[in-house]
Amino acid sequence: MKILIKNTDLLTMADEDQILHNVNISIDSGRITHIGDIPNDFTPEKIIDGREKLVMPGLVNSHTHIAMSVFRNYADDLSFWPWLTEKILPLEEKLIAQDIYWGSMLSIVEMLKSGITSFADMYFLMDETAKAVSQSGIRASLTRGLAGNESEGQSKIEEAIEFYKKWHGTDNGRIAVDAGPHAPYTCSSAYINMIIEMAKKYNMRIHIHLSESKKEVENSYEKYNKSPIAHVNDLGLFELPTMAAHCVYLSNEDIDILADKRVHVLNNPASNLKLGNGFAPINKLLKNGVNVALGTDGASSNNSQNMFKEISLAGLINKGINNDSTCVKAITALKMATINGAKALGLDDSIGTIEVGKKADIILIDMKKAHLYPKHNPVSAMVYSAQGSDVDTVIIDGKVVMESREIKTIDIEEVMYNVEKHAKELIKR
C-alpha cells in the first residue's frame, strides 16, 4: 500500500536527536521512499494527517515472554526464587496451547497500544505465539526456550529445529526464529554445546538469561568457579550473535567479555526492580561500548508490556544509582528502545530509525496532550513525560495496524474474554 503522512514532526533516531518539522513521509511496498518533498507522481492510497503528531521509529521490546500475561497479577511481592519455583513453574506445567495463544494475543494488544512494533520472545508451545504474531501484524524474533541436559533435552532441540523450519522468515520476513538456551542454571554445559551446534547449523542468533540474581552468580562460582558470563563464554556461546537478558550482577571482567564479544545486553528495569534483583550497571556497560537494549520481560514479573515505562525508568534510575544526573541521557534511553533494540535483534539495517529505504515500522504520537506541553524538547518529552496511551497510530511493514487507537487486526473484546476464561481454568488445573 502507498501511504502518505503529511505535515508532521519527525524524530528520525538516525542522527542523535535530529528532529524535522512539518515534513511529509511516503511509504510504498512496506518501505520508506521519501522524507520531505514527495514526488508529484506519488499517488497515495491512504493519507494520514500528521499535524499535532510526532513520528518516530516503532519501539523494540528486546526481551519478553508474552504468553505469560495469563499470570498477570497472580504472583506479586515475592522474592525471585520463591516467585519462580513456587508460583510460576508449577503453573507453567499446566499450560495448554490455548493459554499460550490467548496470552500472546493479549500482550500483543498491549504492545501495539503502547507503540511496540517488534519484540523478542522466549517460551514454549511457540507455534501458538507465532500464530498470534502472524495474525496481528507485529514483527517478532521468537525462540523455543531450551532447558535440560544432553539426555533429556534432545526432544526440545528437535522441537526448536521444527519451529525454525516452519516459521523463520515467514510473513514477509516479519517472523524470525532464534536459539534459546534458557540460562546456565537450567542448562548443563553439554546441553549448551548442543544448542550452539544447532544455532551454527541453522544460522540462528542466541537469546539467553544471564546473571539475573545474586544466587545465580553465587551458584555459578560454586559449581564452575566462574561467573555465568565467563562460563558460557568459555563454552563458545558468544562466538554467535548473542542477546543476553538482565546482566544485573557483573564484574569488570564480565563487562570486558561482553564488550569484546559484542554481546547485546537486554535491560529489563521494571522486572528486575519488582523481583528485588537490583539494577544492571547500564552506564558502565554503555561506557565500555556494549550495546544495551530495553525489554519489559513477561507480564508475570512486570505486570505491564508498556515500553514507555521502561524508557522512563532507564532514564531515571541510572541517574539515581550513579548520583549523576547527566548519565543515560534522554536520547540514550530512547536509543535503547529503538535502534539499540534493532541491533540486538539483528535488524538495524531495516528498522530502528526513520530513513529512506528502511522498512516502514513507524509510530505516531499524539502530541496534543496536557502532559506534553509546552513543546520544548520532544526527546525529553518521550522519555520523561510520554505515556504508552499517547500512541495514536502504528504502521508495521508498511501496513496500518492501529489508527486513532483502534487496532485493525485483532478483536480486543474477544481476546480479553478468552484470556480471562483460560486464566481461571489454568488456576483450577
Render pLDDT for 58-89 as a digit per residue (tens, 0 to 9): 999 999 999 999 999 998 898 888 988 998 88
Quick check: 102 and 133 in contact, CB under 8 A? no
pTM beyond 0.95, yes or no: yes
Q: pLDDT-derived band of residue 429, with 50, 70 and 90 as boundaries?
A: confident
For strands 362-366 and 391-396, give the pairing: antiparallel
Q: What percent of the chain has pLDDT over 90?
A: 92
Q: What is the pLDDT of residue 78?
A: 87
DSSP of 288-334: TT--EEE----TTTSS---HHHHHHHHHHHHHHHHT-TTSS-HHHHH
- Cα separation, 114 vs 390, in Å, equals 8
The model's pLDDT over 293-327, given as tens digits with 9 standing for 90+, comes to: 999 999 989 999 999 999 999 999 999 999 999 99
Phi and psi, residue 243, nearest 5°? -105, 120
What is the DSSP secondary structure assignment for residue 415, as one 8-state letter?
A: H
Q: What is the pLDDT of residue 153?
A: 86
Mean pLDDT computed over every residue of the chain:
96
Report the residue count for the chain. 429
Q: What is the pLDDT of residue 129?
A: 98
pLDDT at 164 > cutoff 90: yes
Q: H-type helices in 137-227, by residue range?
A: 154-167, 170-173, 189-202, 214-224
Across the range 270-275, mean pLDDT stands at: 93
Q: Which element (helix H / strand E) includes 232? A: helix 228-234
- Cα separation, 300 vs 274, in Å, equals 10
Ramachandran bin of 257, using left for φ above 0, alpha for ψ from -120 to 50, beta for the remaining angles? alpha
Q: Which residue segments constitute the domains of the chain, with CATH numbers given?
A: 3-57+355-407 (2.30.40.10), 59-344 (3.20.20.140)
Across the range 163-189, mean pLDDT stands at: 97
Q: Grid coordinates 550513579 are at which residue?
A: 322
Q: What percent of the chain has pLDDT over 70?
A: 100
Q: Grid coordinates 511496498 are at which residue?
A: 29
Q: What is the pLDDT of residue 280?
A: 96
Across the range 79-102, mean pLDDT stands at: 91
Q: What is the pLDDT of residue 79?
A: 87
Q: What is the pLDDT of residue 125?
A: 96
Q: pLDDT-derived band of residue 8, with 50, 70 and 90 as boundaries?
A: very high
Q: What is the pLDDT of residue 184?
A: 97
Across the range 80-103, mean pLDDT stands at: 92
The model's pLDDT over 228-260, given as tens digits with 9 standing for 90+, comes to: 999 999 999 999 999 999 999 999 999 999 999
Q: pLDDT-derived band of residue 402, with 50, 70 and 90 as boundaries?
A: very high
